[in-house]
Amino acid sequence: MSHAATVATRYRRNARRGYIPVPVTFHDTIIIGPFTGTWSASGGINDSGTLTEPTDFRVDGQVHIVRVDTGSKGTITLVIHASLTLEPDGTIVGTGPWAVIAGTGAYTELHGQGTGHAVVVKGVVTETLTGSVHFD
C-alpha cells in the first residue's frame, strides 16, 4: 500500500472513531405527496438508497422535516429546518440547516450537520445537503 493510501486509510479510520469531522454531500430527490424518494451520499458516507419523510410540517414559510434515509449499511435519520421562498418563475427554493439525529447499523454512532439547498419544480424536490459527519 502506498504512503498516500496508508494516510488516507488512517484518516478514514480516525474519522470513524470520531476524531475528525469529514465533509459529506447528500443528493436527494423527493416526490411531494407520498414524500418518498431516493438519496445518495459521498465523502464521510458512501451509500445510497430510498428515503421517507414521516414528519413534514410547514409554518409561516418554514418547513420542518424528519427524514429517514435507508441504505445498504443502515438507516440515517435527519432533521431539516428550511426557509421557503417562492421565485418569480413559480419554483420554490428551500434553504436551511440539517442534522443527524439517529442511525442504525453502520450509522448507529453517526453524528453530522450542515446546510441544505432544495428546489421544488412540479411536485419534485431536488436537494443537496452539505456539511460534515463523524462517528463516536
Tell me the residue range of the domain where 44 lies. Answer: 3-135
pLDDT in tens, the chain (136 residues): 544 444 445 455 555 554 689 999 999 999 998 999 999 999 999 999 999 998 877 778 899 999 999 999 999 999 999 999 999 998 999 999 999 999 999 999 999 999 999 999 999 999 999 999 999 8
The answer to whether the CB of 129 falls within 8 A of the CB of 25 is yes
Cell numbers found for residue 95: 434553504
pTM of the shown model: 0.84
- How far apart (Å, rounded) are the C-alpha atoms in residues 20 and 103? 19
Q: Is 61 helix (H, G, I), strand (E, B) or coil?
A: coil
- How far apart (Å, rounded) are the C-alpha atoms in residues 135 and 113? 12
Q: How many domains does the structure of the chain reveal? A: 1
